Amino acid sequence: SSKAPGLFSVIQKLKGTTEQELQIVLLGLDNAGKTTLLRKLASEDVSTITPTQGFNIKSVASNGMKLNVWDIGGQRKIRTFWKKYLEDTDVLIYVIDSADKKRLEETGQELSDLIDEENLKGVPVLIFANKQDLVAAAPASEIAEGLNLHTYRDRQWQIQACSALSGEGVQVSVN
């Protein structure tokens, strides 16, 4: 199977740049797999993860590029604080549980609210359609349609199918 592009190459393409250091905010509903994704990027153990109460921050470096990633909890009561973290964001990574069809509308609403945020004007968005390892997972194309991504004309965006647990579609290609 062809390896999905690593996160770094996707981000370079989205930003159209190889800036040395990028601020990345990792958002999505609770249980979407944000922390698992972040730990996988940092090549850390993903077997014991509890819901994120506040936020995690990690720096991941590859190919002379450094990503400072803010992983912020997705429970409803925390989401009101999301906008506090959006200043100086270079790329928004939004994680979706592809198998949780009941919450597609909710996650889509949260994403479209984010897209309207002043601090995220023109900021590229990378959407991870996570949990593709689950039988019930909707394909990325279906999720893109459900989220009306085609209406986002003011910025670069990309949706990528992945499994944070296995690393498929997430793995940073280290040269």
Alpha helices in 59-139 (DSSP H): 76-79, 104-115
Query: Are the CB atoms for 26 and 162 separated by under 8 Å?
Result: no
74 is in an annotated binding site: yes
122 is in an annotated binding site: no
33 is in an annotated binding site: yes
Instruction: Report which DSSP code applies to 135.
Output: T
- Count of CB atoms within 10 A of residue 11's CB? 23
E strand spans, 73-155: 91-97, 125-130
Q: Which of 20, 23, 53, 75 is catalytic?
A: 75
140 is in an annotated binding site: no
Return the biggest CA–CA distance within the chain.
Answer: 41
130 is in an annotated binding site: yes
169 is in an annotated binding site: no
Quote the radius of gyration of the chain (alpha carbons, Å).
Answer: 15
29 is in an annotated binding site: yes
Q: Provide the CA 108 distance to its chain's centre, in angstroms.
A: 13
**CA–CA distance, 175 with 167 (Å, rounded to integer):** 17
119 is in an annotated binding site: no
State yes or no: is 156 an active-site residue: no
32 is in an annotated binding site: yes
Query: Are the CB atoms for 50 and 106 separated by under 8 Å?
Result: no
Assigned token pair, 2: 């062809």
45 is in an annotated binding site: no
Catalytic positions are 75
Residues of each annotated binding site? 28-35, 52, 74, 130-133
Residues of each annotated binding site for GTP? 28-35, 74, 130-133
Residues of each annotated binding site for Mg(2+)? 35, 52
